Amino acid sequence: MLTRRKFLSLCAKTTMAVSLSELLLADLDKAVAAKEIKKPTVIWLELGSCTGNTISLDNTASPSVKELFNKVIDLRFHWIFMNAEGTWATDIMRRAAKEKAGEYILVVEGSVVLADGGTWDNIAYENGQLVTGVSVLKDLAPQAKHVIAIGSCAAFGGPAAARPNPSKSVGVQDVLDRQVINTPGCPCHPDWFLGTLYHLINYGVPELDTYNRPKLFYGRLLHDQCQRRAYFEKGIFAQHLGDSWCMFTMGCRGPRTFADCPNREWNGTDNWPVGCNTPCIGCVEPGFPDVSMPFFQRYPDLKLPGFSANLDKAALGLGVITLGGLGVHLGVNLATQRLRKNLTETSLPLSPPGPRTKAQLEGIRTEAGSEDAPAQPEEFRPLPANLQVRRPKKARRTLHK
Ligand code: SF4
Ligand code: SF4
């Protein structure tokens, strides 16, 4: 097995020829074959969800999920991947929970649906009765060794809980009185899930942030790892989706999102949204998607020393400074340092809000029934048609690959 130090350094590595999942599963496979570790029993519940996290995991070309299920984990229940159906399937799940009480890992995908006693999300049929997802979750969670909420819906409610939330969806942590390890993402990256699983199997619970996300993967601001950060610093912003400059003006939520997408990338190690000239929409954050909407609209204000302006005025100001003969280097340096300082330290909500209190949770559940249309935050304003931003005279190759 890898030492923990080696494992941590692999997780933090910025360039890899093969995916982290591939390395970790090969290692687990060897350890299981050599009887160094026992295959962990996994029960996978899907509640209010689009199955996106299962599909994301299934997208790992190498290793395939078949290898994962056959060689590394003892998967007892997953409604998509098993042959059994109906009572036969739920019997297997109940038997596994009894036999492996205190040992199994419960993976939950999807939000917990509370509307009408949870009956909007029946996931089983037992003894002639439909059984709700929330009741199965509450039955299985107490005896699980670990509970992992995979994807943003399971972690925080996610799109399933977006306003007006008629299904009264909430995250798994909101209904359980025990530790839940959150691996959010819409969907969750296979490495985030498998890396967390690897850590649990070999070294126990990884270090978590205030939202119970493993810091290994969600510990650093995305904006600080972005290949286009230099453009941000210099005030070189995209004017359209598809431009290869900083996507801040296109509504990039990188400055308030904690994930390692720029380094990890998706579909193996291929690319990520900003690399495809579209902004990050902050899918791993609590409150997503409501807190990120409307998508493609930039954060509103920019506080420059002595006055507050929006980005349009700031861009104009930069032009005036340059034309005013302060000198290109002096002007750019002054302006970008101020841009950087003000955008990153004063203007943007860099840290997500603290964990929800009980009163907030009550509020969520009450508000969940509201049928009001989502209010457009006042501070978001449409981009003006004549937005002027600085661009290099000659189009250069982008900083990213
Ligand atoms: S705003 Fe977005 S595109 Fe620009 S540097 Fe930050 S993360 Fe990258
Ligand atoms: S780049 Fe942003 S929106 Fe895309 S997966 Fe990462 S955190 Fe989510």
Q: pTM to 2 decimals?
A: 0.79
Ligand 1 proximity of 274 Cβ (cutoff 6 Å) = yes
Ligand 1 proximity of 255 Cβ (cutoff 6 Å) = yes
- Cβ neighbors of 320 (< 8 A, separation 6 or more) are none
Ligand 2, atom 2, residue with closest C-alpha:
280
Output the CA 283–ligand 1 centroid distance in Å.
15
Report how far residue 185's alpha carbon sits from residue 259's, in angstroms, rounded to the nearest whole number: 9
For 222-349, which CATH superfamily applies?
Answer: Cytochrome-c3 hydrogenase, C-terminal domain (4.10.480.10)
Q: Which mutation among 221, 227, 281 tests ligand 2's pocket best, with the greatest number of atoms within 8 A of CB? A: 281
Residue 72 has what pLDDT?
85
Q: How far is CA 234 from CA 55, 274, 334, in A?
A: 39, 17, 10
The low-confidence residues of the chain, meaning pLDDT below 50, are 302-310, 312-315, 317-330, 332-333, 341-355, 365, 367-401
Q: Which two tokens stand for residue 108?
A: 């939950």
Ligand 1 proximity of 226 Cβ (cutoff 6 Å) = yes
- DSSP β-ladder status, 105-109 and 122-126: unpaired
Output the CA 265–ligand 2 centroid distance in Å.
9
Output the CA 206–ligand 1 centroid distance in Å.
28
Ligand 1, atom 5, residue with closest C-alpha:
229
Task: Give start-end residues of each CATH 3.40.50.700 domain in the chain.
Answer: 4-218
Task: Give start-end residues of each CATH 4.10.480.10 domain in the chain.
Answer: 222-349
Output the CA 398–ligand 1 centroid distance in Å.
13
Report how far residue 260's alpha carbon sits from residue 307's, in angstroms, rounded to the nearest whole number: 34
**pLDDT digits over 49-62, tens only?**
999 999 998 877 66
Which ligand places an atom closest to the C-alpha of 266? 2
Q: Which mutation among 226, 253, 278 tests ligand 1's pocket best, with the greatest number of atoms within 8 A of CB? A: 226
Output the CA 285–ligand 1 centroid distance in Å.
16
Residue 14 has what pLDDT?
63
Residue 23 has what pLDDT?
80
Index of the ligand 1 atom closest to the CA of residue 254: 7
- Three-state DSSP at 45 gives strand
Index of the ligand 2 atom closest to the CA of residue 253: 2
- The side-by-side arrangement of strands in the sheet containing 146-150 is 74-77, 41-46, 105-109, 146-150, 181-183
Index of the ligand 2 atom closest to the CA of residue 280: 2
Which ligand places an atom closest to the C-alpha of 191? 2
Output the CA 70–ligand 2 centroid distance in Å.
30
Ligand 1 proximity of 105 Cβ (cutoff 6 Å) = no
CATH 3.30.1330.10 fits 4-218, yes or no: no
Q: Which residues line ligand 2 (CB under 6 A)?
A: 185, 257, 259, 261, 272-273, 280-284
- Long-range contacts, stretch 3-10, CB < 8 angstroms, 24+ apart: 4/202, 4/203, 7/198, 7/199, 7/202, 7/203, 8/216
For residue 209, the number of C-alpha atoms closer than 13 Å in the C-beta half-sphere is 23
Residue 246 has what pLDDT?
95
Beta bridge partners of 338: none
DSSP output for 174-231: GT-SS--EEE--TT--HHHHHHHHHHHHHH-SPPB-TTS-BHHHHSSBHHHH-TTHHH
Contact between 205 and 146 (Cβ < 8 Å): yes
Index of the ligand 2 atom closest to the CA of residue 274: 1
- DSSP β-ladder status, 74-77 and 41-46: parallel
Output the CA 281–ligand 2 centroid distance in Å.
6
Residue 31 has what pLDDT?
84
Q: Which mutation among 220, 221, 228, 298 tests ligand 1's pocket best, with the greatest number of atoms within 8 A of CB? A: 228
Contact between 310 and 316 (Cβ < 8 Å): no
